[in-house]
C-alpha cells in the first residue's frame, strides 16, 4: 500500500501568486469621491448662505451639515477600524448639529445661516486641532530619533 501526500504551497509561493494592484481606470476612486463630496458639501453651504430658492438647497445643505463635522471627527479618530470610525464620526456629526441647534435656540438666535457658520467653524476648529496634533507628534518623533 502506498501513502499519498498532498503538497501544500508555502507562504512564499502564495505571496508571489497574489496579484498586485491592477493599473488602469477604477484603481483607486477614493480621492475622486472625496473631491466630489467636498464639492457637493461646499455647494450646499453656499446655497444655504445665499438663501437660494433652488430645490437642491435642502439635500446639499443636509449633506454638508452631516459630512463636514463627520470628516473632522473621522480625521481625529485615525486609530479606529474603518467601520467603527464611520459610525463614531456620523454619530459625532449628529451630536455637533444638535448641540449647535440647541445652543442657538437657547439664546433665541436661531437662523439657518448662523447654524451653517457655527457648524463650519466647529468642523474647521476640529480639523485644525488634528493637524496641530499631528505636526507636534512628528516634530517630537524626529527629535527623539
What is residue 93's predicted lDDT score, i.e. its pLDDT? 96
Distances (CA, A) of 15 to 12, 19, 135: 5, 9, 36
pTM given for the model: 0.73
Q: What are the pLDDT digits (tens) for 69-91?
A: 999 999 999 889 999 999 999 99
Q: What are the pLDDT digits (tens) for 31-57?
A: 888 889 989 999 999 999 998 888 999
Amino acid at each position: 500500500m502506498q501513502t499519498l501526500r498532498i503538497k501544500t504551497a508555502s507562504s512564499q509561493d502564495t505571496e508571489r501568486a497574489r496579484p498586485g494592484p491592477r493599473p488602469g481606470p477604477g484603481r483607486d476612486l477614493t480621492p475622486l469621491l472625496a473631491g466630489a463630496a467636498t464639492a457637493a458639501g461646499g455647494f450646499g453651504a453656499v446655497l444655504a448662505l445665499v438663501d437660494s430658492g433652488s430645490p437642491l438647497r435642502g439635500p446639499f445643505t443636509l449633506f454638508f451639515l452631516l459630512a463636514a463635522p463627520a470628516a473632522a471627527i473621522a480625521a481625529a479618530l485615525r486609530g479606529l477600524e474603518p467601520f467603527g470610525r464611520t459610525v463614531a464620526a456620523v454619530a459625532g456629526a449628529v451630536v455637533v448639529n444638535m448641540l449647535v441647534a440647541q445652543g442657538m435656540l437657547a439664546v433665541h438666535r436661531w437662523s439657518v445661516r448662523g447654524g451653517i457658520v457655527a457648524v463650519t467653524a466647529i468642523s474647521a476648529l476640529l480639523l485644525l486641532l488634528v493637524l496641530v496634533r499631528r505636526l507636534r507628534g512628528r516634530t517630537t518623533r524626529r527629535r527623539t530619533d
